[in-house]
Amino acid sequence: MDNFKLSNGRSIPSLAYGTWLIPNKDAANCVKMALEAGYRHIDTAQAYQNEEGVGVGIKESGLKREEIYLTTKVLAEHKSYEKAKKSIDESLKKLGVDYIDLILIHCPQPWALFRGKRRFFKENIEVWKALEEAYKDGKVKAIGVSNFLIDDLENIMNNCEIKPMVNQILCHIGNTPIDIIKFCQENDIIVESYSPIAHGAALKNKAIVEMAKKYNVSVAQLCIKYTLELDTISIPKASSKAHIEDNMKLDFEISDDDMVELIKLNEIDYGKDAFWPVFRKKNKAK
């Protein structure tokens, strides 16, 4: 699997194993299955309440810590420097690791106010300062954000010392936020696509099903490959050994014409069908 190169020069695997909705009691086993299948990037969050299990899975995998890329996220409700600073240390303790490879602000607003009028620009600057401090102290190797819109990103970029290295966003066939992807990639911010299978909805979409048949792959494989072809990191989630393994079988290419057709499935027509090839493999690192 390819790697991307972050703005600080560090590599990050382009395929991550997502642990959202995996209970803490099951997380260790699922993480071990993912690592056995070949994943080397594990994505969790404080909000998932499974950091302890994820940490156990990493420890019991038999792999060296430096062989695994570990991401977690500060609670969206933590909107102060002190709360964010404390929570980073709590994540390190729960995960049972000496450092975290990537930590993100989970959301620009608390979830109860998600995409509301109150934007929390000042508060996010304070949280970001805690992330910058942890980065400088070596507690984390990279820092970023999640669910940030362009003006949320600009707020950090214009008022803080270190710009976000990653923006993890909802991105899948039928919901491809081209404007955010383009902004991030033009500003050397790696985009991560969570829920690439659209929370399972893609499995029922006739157009996607037919496209998957054309390539003789599963719908999940097509969806994951789609996000990779957009030059974003893909974060599929699965809990069974078979699905975990199948989600890694991505040895095929989606043609330019078919990528355009899949982008057209967006609910909003951006009118920029030709945009995507310029991003393809732009940020790939050997």
3-272, what's its fold? TIM Barrel (3.20.20)
Contact criterion met (CB below 8 Å) for 56 and 84: no
Q: Can you give the pLDDT at residue 199? A: 85
Mean pLDDT by 10 residues, the chain (286 residues): 93 97 97 98 98 98 97 98 98 98 98 95 98 98 98 98 97 93 96 93 90 97 97 95 96 94 69 40 42
Q: Can you give the pLDDT at residue 204? A: 87
Q: Determine which one of 17, 39, 48, 135 is catalytic.
A: 48
Length of the chain measured in residues: 286
Active site residue 17: no
Give me the sign of the Cα torsion angle 183, 187, 188, 194.
negative
Instruction: Encode pLDDT of 200-210 as tens digits.
Output: 888 888 999 99
Q: Can you give the pLDDT at residue 277? A: 41
The tokens 């699922």 sit on which residue?
30
Dihedral angle at the C-alpha atoms of 139, 142, 145, 146, nearest 10 degrees?
-100
Q: Three-class SS string for the chain?
A: CCEEECCCCCEEECECEECCCCCHHHHHHHHHHHHHHCCCEEECCHHHCCHHHHHHHHHHCCCCHHHCEEEEEECCCCCCHHHHHHHHHHHHHHHCCCCECEEEECCCCCHHHCCCCCCCHHHHHHHHHHHHHHHHCCCECCEEEECCCHHHHHHHHHHCCCCCCEEEEECECCECCHHHHHHHHHCCCEEEEECCCHHHHHHHCHHHHHHHHHHCCCHHHHHHHHHHHCCCEEECECCCHHHHHHCCCCCCCCCHHHHHHHHCCCCCCCCCHHHHHHCCCCCEEC
For 270, the token pair is 């951006």
Instruction: Encode pLDDT of 109-145 as tens digits.
Output: 999 999 999 999 999 999 999 999 999 999 999 999 9
Q: What angle do CA 45, 49, 51 make, to 5 degrees?
A: 60
Is residue 46 packed enough to be buried (19+ CB in 10 Å), middle (13-18) or exposed (0-12)?
buried
Q: Can you give the pLDDT at residue 267? A: 55
Q: Can you give the pLDDT at residue 266? A: 72
Q: Can you give the pLDDT at residue 219? A: 96
**Whole-angstrom Cα distance, residue 140 to residue 159?**
21
